[in-house]
Structure 1
Amino acid sequence: MPPLPALAALLPGIPLTPPPPLPAPTPRPALQRRATPASTARLQGNSISINGLRQQALWLQDAGELWLPLEVLEGQLGVSRSSGANGSVELEWFGQKLSVSADRQRSLDDEVAVPVSGLLEAVGVISRTEGRELSLQLPPRPLQAIRWSNQGVSGQRVVLDLSAPALVRSGEDRLLIGTEASPQQLEQLKQLGLSPSQRNGWLSVQIPRDGERLSLGGPWRLVLDLPVLGDGAPARATTTPAPAPERDPRLVALQNQGLKLERRVGRIGSRQVLINSVRLDPRQVPLELRPLNRSDGMQGLSSLSQLARQEQALIAINGGYFNRVNRLPLGAMREQGRWLSGPILNRGAAGWKAGELPRFDRLMLVETIEDSRRQRWSITTVNSGYVQKGLARYTADWGSRYQPITGTEMGVLVRNGVVQERYELGAMAPGVPLREGDLLLVARGGVSVPWQSGERLTLQSRPTSPVGEQPNVLGGGPLLLQNGRVILNGTAEGFSSGFLAQGAPRTVVASDGRQLWLITLQGVNNAGPTLMETALLMQQEGLQDALNLDGGSSTGLVLADVHTVKGRGVAAAVHNGLGLVPRLEQARTPERP
């Protein structure tokens, strides 16, 4: 989501007629770190009930403090999040603010969780635990008033004046708001094109996919900014139920040419797994496999549906790993010969040319900078959010400006092989503009570089595998299968033992030697398969090569603009993906041996 406007400029177009008088909200002090008894029992679970609506989600209660994943806070409660300095997370919810430093964040399996007991209490949420289920309740209160205004080219703004803070759950095209609307208010929302309904304490409204929301305190409000259509009219959510995506005419035509879409339940040991698979021979079916990335650089997250629409992909799965806190990539992404983000830790990757099956292998880039004194310096990463001691390089593919990721960075800007500018420690804090052809070398962890303006530097780069020579590459890990054999070695690829042992939803890109496979796996009444179970399941399917991609809440599958698979029941934000985009040329006829 793009940054929301500053608070002072948020409501300039709202009619001056005020809503009915509201009771002033009770002032609350700024949130402080809670002092909790060390003897409190440690509880952990994988189910959360939110005002009676249950979903699969991780949670932890430790020493009296409740930890929730960022995806739950944003998608299921309505908390706004932004990235702060030095890896901190800034949370805001109905006027309550909480800053969580990097050392206060922790991992819940594959999720980033933060301590939120104080924030929940400040807003009025009641939390209880029963076994492995957490219950969160914020009783719905009456909706006070509805205000709206046209914002010209910006669209339409709708403001819901609330009598108390409310939970806000996000869907693909709708919001569930924990408030009670009257019949007259429902009619108002209907006239605004939001197709409202009221049930069990939840007000449901349909909103365009690109709509934005923001909660405010003093008085309590929920602001919905709705974009405009190409003709200048306010966008409206679709109210006609969409047909099953498999019956979309575009997909039906491709299925007649050999595309296979399958959804079934498989078994690994005693556990059942829901398998969604997309299969095609790229030499026969006119679909091209492409990396899906944001168009404005490597920093930031998006929905899988948005990434697919941006590239006009009919089918998409989520891609490689990323840091949910600073929203930066953690693995290989190459598009049309350009390294948007380099590989890390010799992890598995898939590389391909248009119209061909991918190749699979573990991958690193071996890069050095040689100066005029014939001294060579190793480069650790390329356009990456993976931070380690040493020298990293960044290009304009990273974005229009480089902002330091750590607090101890110096560097030099190189253009046409010549150092243009030198940045001492702290000098890059305002950001370094990057233009096409620029190369920014960043030194971290106490490493110092000797080069001055005017010195000539030479970059040498080579991949450790032919996979890295392909024009398109996507990294993930671990590598599961190669030539039909299970070669899972997560430790060698830098994954923790806890990550390797956990069960979770999975996303896999694979090949059986004849067809490309895009696969999602979800547990049936279980957390999902472990990585070894995933590898064995892929082998059972007859696959020759298989690469694990990001999983957990990131797991997703989009068919004909319908988000049909959501890893843990929520359409979580992701950094990148893999898409199948229609080719303009006719399907190729495979060469005969």
Structure 2
Amino acid sequence: MFKISDEKGMLNFNLIHKPKKIILLLSILGLSLLPISALAEPKTDPNRQQGNTIEINGNLINIPWHIDKSNSKSKIAVKISDIGLMQNLGIDLLDSNNSSQQPIQWFSDQSTLSAEYINPYRYLDLSNFTESSQWQIKPEGSKLKITIPPSTIQSLRIEPLSVDSSNLPQNDITFSPQRIIIELDKPTIWQQPNPEIKKRSPSIPPQPSPPLTDDPTTRNQNNSPQPVTPVLQDWSLTLEAKITPKLLSDSPEFFKPSILTKSPNLIPPNPNSTHLQLESKNNQTQVKFSLPPGWRPVVTTLNSPYRLIIEIKPDFLTPKNILWQPGIRWRQDYIKIPKTEASLGSLLNQILKPSQPSVDQFPVYWLEININQPEIKLTPILSNPNARQGTSTLLNIAQQAKVPVAINGGFFNRNNQLPLGAIRFHNNWLSSPILNRGVIAWGKDKPILMNRLILKETLTTASGQTFPLQYLNSAYVEAGISRYTSDWGKSYSPINQQEHIIVVENNQITRYIESNKPESSVVNIPTQGYLLVVRGRPELLKLLPVGTRLQLQSQTEPKEFQNYPNILGAGPLLMQNRQIVLDAAQERFNPAFQQQKAIRSAIAITNNNTLLLVAVHNRPNGSGPSLAELAQILQKLGAATALNLDGGSSTSLYLGGYYLDRPFSTVAPVHNGLGIAITDH
């Protein structure tokens, strides 16, 4: 059983010393991180102790933990975040239909741990985790200290791995699937493999293709997809184990950047190989390897004898179906759809290998949210709640909003960090819809709506002259008049250099601000009024002199969106009434974006009122889905109505303090997202 020491005077709830330096150190080591904001100072309770940092054999890892000593008749309950255990200690979470009981696997047959939700984490009770009989646990303030006797590597070998040939890259560069088998004298912990931020090219330098953008203000110079040579990415897996002197003596080449074995069945090292290497220090061993795009390592464990198995292959995703909380189910699996393109290569392949199925499969991560449950609430979440400019990782945004579930949201301009699409929160337009693009809308006792949306605003003078407005609180720039209110922030800074600013207070124009004057760099937005920004139409200024009284009319199209307090936009709209209605051109996405194949995020609703938060990654043999392929995937998941969200490096699906779909180091900052809160009803 666990040994837990509770020394007097250790109930200290202050943050650990110099947390920023520790977090910087963890970043360098490639460990999973929680943001500094997550290290909140908990309330004092003599029977409870909690924190966000665990020290394992002297190494710091950010994992939420909780100790409960309130029941004097039972053992002290030591609880650690479920996904934190999986990603940082190598304890696999198995399928479950009971959110309070979590089956696990760790070097043995499965066992079951009790689970408890304490917002925003789901904790697993390790008190009866018999496989950890030699672990010693001692809480030290906001840090949990765990001492585990390090295992010893008894042997290590590598062997070829057979996979479906259709999942291998169809080009001249060969990457061989492999299995690394590490035999140990006892079970040990390991951290899920993490990729290095830097990538390196194989021996043949790639031909760069022009970047594709979802920013409708930018046109790509070349819309034709260009062939790109895969770029290798370095990964590493760290395990709490040392190497025996004999293994070190017999195999000194293990410490060189080369293949781990002299097996005659393997291709000799070449610039396009996985570059496997082994490093050992301070009772830890790090296995390093390089992978092509779309590949990830799969780690499993076995006993009799104890073995850690690392499979390097393109079809990496392990299916999961876990009821995480009542009304929140975590799913992941490969979804197969018919191939939509008949290239010369694929046609020849069907002629030569007619039995090969003409389907594509995609690794899909999704959360099923039962929105009929009263304690589950949807909310827009923002990188900067006080103004529209800003970006941050979805993990930081979700932690700031104190929601356990989130997915990235709408488009934005990465240069100025301003939104490009609808954000309505509690009836306030933080950013208006643009270009008739798709949105999702919700409200209390209202059905979720998804459709294309326009906000029409018109100014009318006392003489009856009307002026249609382009956009409200938006970074999208078109010739005409746009309006900015205090929901944009306390002030407005010109987005381009050809703007004329009109100040309106109490429905009357009070002054002009010339674009070339110093005062135009930052203009305060009146709390009892708004700013009108005139772009590309200077003749309109003569029609709106100082003193003009204005009346504002505002209406959504379709009108049913007018009474929805919360709206989040992205696009294009993918499905309605279980039918694909994709029309990216109607929503004015540029042709390159329409044709692009990329990692994608989406949101959908099923006929039984289940909300789907979906992240789709690269198919095993290449790129992510096109918009049409994404719609087909969502059909397979049972979607009735569906909307595409911002994608690519923005794609991120968050649950209980962690990303489900990708390593932390690969996530890009985003502007906004959709959060799921669990409230006390």
Shorter chain as denominator, the TM-score bin is 0.5 to 0.7
Task: Confirm whether residue 524 of structure 1 aligns to residue 619 of structure 2.
Answer: yes
Task: Give, in angstroms, the shift of residue 400 of structure 1.
Answer: 1.6
Percent identical pairs in the alignment equals 32
Residue of structure 1 equivalent to 2:677: 581
The change in CA–CA distance for 1:295 and 1:434 in structure 2 (over 3 A counts) is: same
Equivalent residue for 1:475, pick from 565, 569, 578: 569
Contact 2:197/2:666, CA 8 A, preserved across alignment: no
Give the alignment's TM-score, normalised by structure 1: 0.58
* Counterpart in the other structure of 1:560: 656
1:216 is matched with none
Tell me the distance in 1 between the aligned counterparts of 2:631 and 2:617.
Answer: 14
Q: Indicate conservation of the 8 Å contact 1:59/1:108, yes or no.
A: no
Conserved 8 A contact 1:507-1:549: yes
Residues 156-167 of structure 1: pairs in structure 2 closer than 5 A: none
Q: Which residue of 2 aligns with 1:119?
A: none
Partner residue of 1:449?
541
Q: Give runs of aligned pairs for residues 224-263 of structure 1, distance below 5 A.
A: 252=324, 254=325, 257-263=326-332
- Provide, for residues 393-451 of structure 1, a one-character-per-residue CA deviation record: whole Å limited to 9, x for no partner: 01111122100001111121112212222123324532101243331100001333233
Classify 1:54/1:352 alpha carbon distance in 2 versus 1 (closer, same or farther; 3 Å): farther
The higher radius of gyration belongs to 2
Q: Structure 1 residues 468, 530: CA separation in 2 closer, same or farther (over 3 Å shift)?
A: farther
1:391 aligns with 2:487: no
Distance change in 2, residues 1:305/1:379 (3 Å): same
**Maintained 8 Å contact 2:207/2:228:** no
Partners of 1:569 and 1:288 lie apart in 2 by 29
- Find the aligned partners of 2:378 and 2:547 in 1 and give their Cα distance: 42
2:433 to 313, 324, 343: 343
Aligned to 2:497: 407
Deviates more, 1:277-286 or 1:390-399: 277-286
User: How far is the alpha carbon of 1:581 from its aligned partner?
Assistant: 1.0
Kindly indicate whether the alpha-carbon contact (under 8 Å) linking 2:201 and 2:231 is maintained by their aligned counterparts in 1: no
SS in 1 for 2:613: strand
Q: Give the Cα–Cα distance (whole angstroms) in 2 for the partners of residues 487 and 348 of structure 1.
A: 11
Q: Secondary structure of the equivalent of 1:544?
A: strand
Q: Secondary structure of the residue that 1:398 maps to in structure 2?
A: coil
- Conserved 8 A contact 2:321-2:330: no
Letter in 2 for 1:308: A
User: Residues 368 and 316 of structure 1: is their aligned pair in 2 closer, same or farther, counting only changes over 3 Å?
Assistant: same
Aligned equivalent of 2:590, options 483, 492, 496: 496
CA spacing shift, 1:410–1:459, aligned 2, 3 Å: same
CA RMSD after TM alignment: 4.0
Q: 2:524 aligns with which of 425, 430, 433?
A: 433
1:368–1:131 CA distance, 2 compared to 1 (3 A): closer
What is the CA distance between 1:59 and its match in structure 2?
7.6
Tell me by how many angstroms 1:298 deviates.
0.9
1:461 to 524, 534, 554: 554
Distance 2:631 2:642 in 1: 8
**CA positional deviation for 1:299:** 1.1
How many residues align? The count is 387
Aligned-partner residue type, residue 469 of structure 1: N
Is the partner of 2:541 in helix, strand or coil? coil
State the Cα distance separating 1:455 from its structure 2 match. Answer: 2.4
Partner of 2:424: 334
Question: 1:49, CA displacement in angstroms?
Answer: 9.0
1:133 aligns with 230
1:446-492 residue CA offsets vs partner (Å, 9 max, x unmatched) = 33323333321111100001234310001111111111111111111
Q: Aligned residue for 1:535?
A: 631
Q: CA deviation at 1:497?
A: 2.1
Matches of 2:432 and 2:644 in 1, distance apart?
17
Change (3 A) 1:562 1:108: farther
Q: Is the 8 A contact 2:440 2:568 kept in 1?
A: yes
CA shift, 1:564, in A, is: 1.9
Residue equivalent to 1:222: none
- Which residue number corresponds to residue 336 of structure 2? 267
Moved segments of 4+, more than 4 Å: 47-55, 67-70, 105-111, 134-137, 196-201
The residue correspondences of 1:65-104 to structure 2 (distance < 5 A) are none
Displacement of 1:527:
1.3
Paired with 2:378 and 2:332, the residues of 1 have a C-alpha distance of 21
What secondary structure is seen at the aligned counterpart in 2 of 1:397? coil
Shift of 1:264: 0.8
- CA 1:455–1:315: 2 relative to 1, 3 Å: same
Q: Is the CA contact 1:314–1:581 (under 8 Å) kept in the aligned structure 2? A: yes
In 1: Cα distance, 2:638 partner to 2:201 partner:
36
Unpaired segments ≥5 residues, structure 1: 1-44, 71-86, 88-101, 112-129, 138-182, 188-195, 202-243, 586-593
Q: Secondary structure at the match of 2:638?
A: coil
Give SS of 2:639's match. coil
Structure 1 residues 171-218: Cα deviation after superposition (integer angstroms, max 9, x where no partner): xxxxxxxxxxxx9xx99xxxxxxxx999979xxxxxxxxxxxxxxxxx
Separation (CA, whole Å) in 1 of partners of 2:551 and 2:206:
50
* d(CA) in 2 for partners of 1:423, 1:480: 43
Structure 1 residue 335 displacement after superposition = 0.3
Letter in 2 for 1:289: L
The one-character-per-residue Cα deviations of 1:479-533 (angstroms, maximum 9, x if unpaired) are 1111111111111110122211221111111111321111111123221111111
Q: Which of 355, 360, 378 is equivalent to 1:289?
A: 378
Q: Which runs of 5+ in 2 are unaligned?
A: 1-172, 176-194, 235-279, 290-317, 339-358
Question: Is the Cα contact below 8 Å between 1:288 and 1:355 reproduced in 2?
Answer: no
Change in 2 beyond 3 A, CA 1:562/1:54? farther
What is the CA–CA distance in structure 2 between the aligned matches of 1:439 and 1:452, rounded to whole Å? 16
Kept in 1: contact 2:406–2:676 (CA 8 A): yes
Q: Distance in 2 between matches of 1:458 and 1:51?
A: 55
Distance in 1, matches of 2:416 and 2:509, equals: 29
